[in-house]
A and B are shown apart, each in its own frame.
Chain A
């Protein structure tokens, strides 16, 4: 008789599956709650007590015109208050400047004192803009940021090679709003988003893209259609991971390579010797080890690998098991043939 089908394995699996879905949804719910904390709130930026920041009082003389899209002045002849629109390129938002790294600077630390007069003298339009290296180069205080190495890498990059002096540090790092990121946040995703937005600022905006070229802006989605799980790659990997030459010593690679040299091989990242172990990820792992200890920081680290694919040890074990299986099958088949003959 067929045993009574009271407790079929399928029912167990069904029960386990339901339990799994329950646990999974609970885990996802708590995770999405967590995510909310880290989401940068674009609409409600943190309120900064501007007046408490060093030099804020002097800087307000500039911000009262350059801090928003309109400014007012009194016409000396008609004595009327005139309202004019400010050019978008020279608008500096207070909320961005006062959380930037240069927030304690006076505007006239970098710009001419002559800007204190209004209307500004015409010759100030010729004023040279300072680049990062002009202030940070050769300074012991900033040695850890390795500005000289960054400058060398940038000079070799396709940005600098193709556009020469038109492409300055400013194209990616506006000194009025620049905020150090990778070193101050533990949230890797935030750093990735921040870094990728720098690229998208031009490569995702035709107006800015055509500042330096007459070419049509390429469609980034179509250009990357070969990439599996495109959305996930875009949100979890920095553009420079594939488009720049990664160096172990620099957290942010600045040597952007021509598009034909960009990484397209999966195993470049999905392997133990992944390029992702260089730069940012390496830095994060080191930081994790220092802060959380070896076990939590490295072995249980979220940032260690993208996938354990191509794990050499796993490969070896699997080859041995398959090899042994085929070996035993061959011996068994051989003995059966011997017996039959």
Chain B
């Protein structure tokens, strides 16, 4: 093992299993969601199959989200998502500056991964927005569309179903953008693949 490398066991089994299922369902939901949105018979997934897969993956993602949600309430993993508001914007800017300039000048990461601080400020912010805003929003609006009879008919004069649909589209779209950025940023590790390996064996290689 490299002397500079410190191996930290950061990702317990339940987190890894949850993360993999979450990633898989999100991917299925994005692909089938696009097929439904652009309901075109020439797309890879047929409309009828896409709807069925989207519904099933949506329900399974909900189950997986419940595991994450409860796990984060009652295990120490939840603490990583608590944002210390004091000086947070400054820390965000520092991390942003590192990704835009520092990384190309061989600077050290301003917030290296430790067992106490798993996420850098940008990660923390984006994960909290994703897991506590966008995913719940897409789940709730998804169920509103799956069972349109439970959706409120009108909200301040506008159609409740329209608004639910719009929310679902926006949340789904932002999750897709997140996925693109997330997968790319995972290549910024000790090696381009080390972060992906971490999600398999649970160990994080610091660099």
Contacts and interface: CB of A to CB of B under 8 A. Distances in A.
B181 A325 contact: yes
Interface in A1-27: 1-14, 17, 20, 24, 27
Interface residues of B, number: 51
B132 A20 contact: no
A300 B132 contact: no
B180 interface: yes
Contacts, number: 111
Interface in A169-222: none
A158 B47 CA distance: 29
B73 interface: yes
Categorize the interface residue count of chain A: 35 or more
Contacts of B108: none
A308 B76 contact: no
Main secondary structure, interface of B, reads helix
A329 B184 contact: yes
Nearest to B39: A266
B126 interface: no
B73 A11 contact: yes
Main secondary structure, interface of A, reads helix
A321 interface: yes
A168 interface: no
B162 A305 contact: yes
25 contacts: A2-B79, A3-B84, A6-B82, A8-B81, A9-B83, A10-B132, A11-B73, A12-B132, A20-B140, A31-B152, A31-B153, A228-B51, A300-B158, A301-B157, A302-B153, A302-B158, A304-B159, A307-B162, A308-B162, A321-B173, A322-B176, A322-B180, A326-B180, A333-B184, A336-B188
Given A325-B181, A336-B188, 14 more contacts: A5-B76, A5-B78, A5-B82, A8-B73, A8-B79, A9-B82, A20-B140, A31-B153, A267-B40, A300-B157, A302-B159, A305-B162, A314-B169, A325-B180
Interface of B: 37-40, 47-48, 51, 69, 72-73, 76, 78-84, 99, 103-104, 106, 116, 128, 131-132, 136, 140, 148-150, 152-154, 156-159, 161-162, 165-166, 169, 173, 176-177, 180-181, 184, 187-188
